[in-house]
Amino acid sequence: MRKIFEHIGDGIRNIIDFFYPPFRKYMSVQFFRYGVSGSANLLFDWVLYFLIYTFILQHQMLDLGFVTLSSHIATFTIKFPIVFMTGFLLQKYVTFTKSLLRGHVQLFRYLVVFLVNIFINYVGLKLMVDGLNIYPSIANMLASSVTVFVSYFSQKKYTFKAPRKIEVDSQ
């Protein structure tokens, strides 16, 4: 299965790298890959959320017997593991391919960084919207911008940490 993911990752990386040259002056190829694959996963997240909310749950609450979830929370709960895994696989096989850490270690670390980013986003929104009266959509964009950089450096230096020699060679 790993070989299949590596092959798919190589293909995606080649497509992304084709569009990289105009951005060469402004960012590393790794950061460009991170941005493109992360944006693609975010778009996938939005589409998946819409499809689940609209066509599967049909805007209805989800009664699990022991608890009833509102439709928007149920949708988040259903799509979270899917988007989490696609994000992890894209980062592992497209962006940060030089790491020698075992997959289960990377997956756990990816979850930690993901949860930290959720916390940063939450605190940022609370501060900006409730404390500074910034319009929620603008606050969300600002908070997301912070988490993009936190996430990139956390993934690079922690989740998918590569040996120093390889890290320098790949940039």
Number of domains making up the chain? 2
Residues 85 and 107 in one domain: no
Residues 93 and 146 in one domain: no
Beta bridge partners of 69: 62
Query: Mean of the pLDDT values across residues 13-35?
Result: 96
Q: Tokens 């790949």 map to which residue?
A: 170
- Which tokens belong to 151? 């996430």
Domain boundary among 38, 66, 97: 97
Predicted confidence at residue 122, as pLDDT, reads: 86
User: Which residues are CB-neighbours of 69 under 8 A, at least 6 positions away?
Assistant: 61, 62, 77
Residues 26 and 91 in one domain: yes
Instruction: Report the predicted TM-score, pTM, of the whole model to 2 decimal places.
Output: 0.84
- Which tokens belong to 124? 């940022």
119, pLDDT greater than 80: yes
Residues 65 and 3 in one domain: yes
Domain boundary among 97, 127, 142: 97
Residues 85 and 126 in one domain: no
Residues 35 and 114 in one domain: no
Predicted confidence at residue 63, as pLDDT, reads: 95
Beta bridge partners of 62: 69
Between 132 and 163, name the one with better pLDDT: 132
Residues 57 and 7 in one domain: yes
Residues 47 and 122 in one domain: no
Residues 14 and 78 in one domain: yes
Predicted confidence at residue 139, as pLDDT, reads: 82
Predicted confidence at residue 165, as pLDDT, reads: 64
**DSSP for 57-120, written as a single string:** STT--EE-SS-EE-HHHHHHHHHHHHHHHHHHHHIIIII-TT--S-HHHHHHHHHHHHHHHHHH
Domain boundary among 97, 126, 148: 97
Residues 109 and 161 in one domain: yes
Residues 134 and 154 in one domain: yes
Radius of gyration of the CA atoms of the chain, in A: 18
Residues 120 and 163 in one domain: yes
Q: Domain range for residue 24?
A: 1-97
